[in-house]
Copies of this chain bind each other. A is one copy, B any other.
Amino acid sequence: MTRAPRYTQTVANLPATVPFIGPEAMQRSAGKPFATRLGANESVYGPSPRVIDAIAAAGPDVWMYGDAEAFDLRNALAKHHNLAIDNIVVGSGIDGLLGTVIRLLVAPGDPVVTSAGAYPTFAYHVAANGGTLHTVPYSGDHEDPKALVAKARETRAKIVYIANPDNPMGSWHSAATIQDMIKDLPDDCVLALDEAYIDLAPAGAAPLFDMGDPRILRFRTFSKAHGLAGLRVGYAIGAATTIRMFDTIRDHFGVGRLAQSAALAAVQDVEWLRQVKAKVATARTELSAIASENGLAALPSATNFVTIDCGRDGAFARAVLSGLLARGIFARMPGVAPLDRCIRVSCGRADDHALFATALSETLRELGNADVT
């Protein structure tokens, strides 16, 4: 017999793809660093100075495992949201938490619903568990709550996913729209409500917390507004009976001591968050202006990025993105039509925007004279 591991049937059928090629891998392929990094919706404004201090202070103690219950952090989050500690579970970013909730619910063949073109890592985790993914299209550059719920009902989905605000389009729904979605949700379907960007959304996008409904899980992160993408801390909020289930399979010591200390310092620095929100608002205005100056239309954004409609088809937008990348601008674009007529640019500092503006204008000038379809 040949010496070989016997992978599960699910794993043996998986394609050798990854959700994203990261910017470092792109730089290694290109053989040079990016001039500016506006493709991963990171917070270029950095973490709070208090968080930077907390990280330095935590270094000598890093020989100790973190608290498996993340008690201090969950306690601070509970106070911040006016919830009980049992309504919160901490995990290694929303990616890690989505992976866990899918493992809790999805066995091979089980149906799951999302939007075509929504967050690829959610789809990746569904595939990793052998789930069957059903999609509905966006509607007017928004995810379509009514269509998502209808599809969940039709397919008897175990999970329906929506991001509010949305990535990659930057659009958002009002709390009332999300509430209506919950009202229509099948009784045995979990709503995975990804609120990674909620800190940057206009008031009125987040529904009130209802900890009596075991079907609703809301995902928050320190990777966006708080500027801690490189630490991997996120949390899920839900009914205590649902949150408790994470404990049956999660990696209990997976969020380390240092990450917990840093996140705790971030929760406590409300003033830094206010400053980041102001900087993001300014940056959105600047990026929209750059789009207009180049004859393109920026979509309204409730996030720390701006999605820019390049006005033609996916091939054209891909050519724009390639032109930007060739000029050292790391940006991304949606992967599915008709969203892929757009590119997606993260909020930067003034110098990032100046580089982007020059590269965009050069790229469009070049493409104006070329056949890109």
Contacts and interface: CB of A to CB of B under 8 A. Distances in A.
A223 B65 contact: yes
Interface centre among A52, A110, A244, A256 (most CB of B within 10 A): A256
A37 B63 CA distance: 11
Contacts of A55: 55-56, 58-59, 62, 258
Given A18-B252, A25-B71, A257-B230, A63 B92 contact: no
Contacts of A58: 55, 230
A165 interface: no
Nearest to A247: B18
A60 B47 contact: yes
Interface centre among A110, A190, A215, A252 (most CB of B within 10 A): A252
A204 interface: no
A10 B67 CA distance: 27
A241 to B, nearest CB: 9
Copies in the complex: 2
A5 B258 contact: no
A247 B16 CA distance: 7
A52 B63 contact: no
A96 B255 CA distance: 11
Contacts of A245: 5, 7, 11
A5 B64 contact: no
Interface string A312-323: 000000000000
A201 interface: no
Interface centre among A21, A40, A103, A242 (most CB of B within 10 A): A103
A248 B14 contact: yes
A62 B231 contact: yes
Interface of A: 1-11, 14-16, 18-25, 28, 37, 40, 42-47, 51-52, 55-56, 58-69, 71, 92-93, 95-96, 99, 103-107, 110, 128, 158, 187-188, 190, 213-215, 223, 227-232, 242, 244-245, 247-249, 251-259, 262
27 contacts: A1-B188, A3-B188, A3-B213, A4-B188, A4-B215, A5-B215, A5-B242, A8-B105, A9-B107, A11-B248, A16-B247, A18-B252, A19-B252, A20-B252, A25-B68, A25-B69, A40-B65, A46-B62, A52-B60, A52-B62, A63-B227, A63-B229, A92-B92, A92-B254, A230-B256, A231-B258, A232-B253
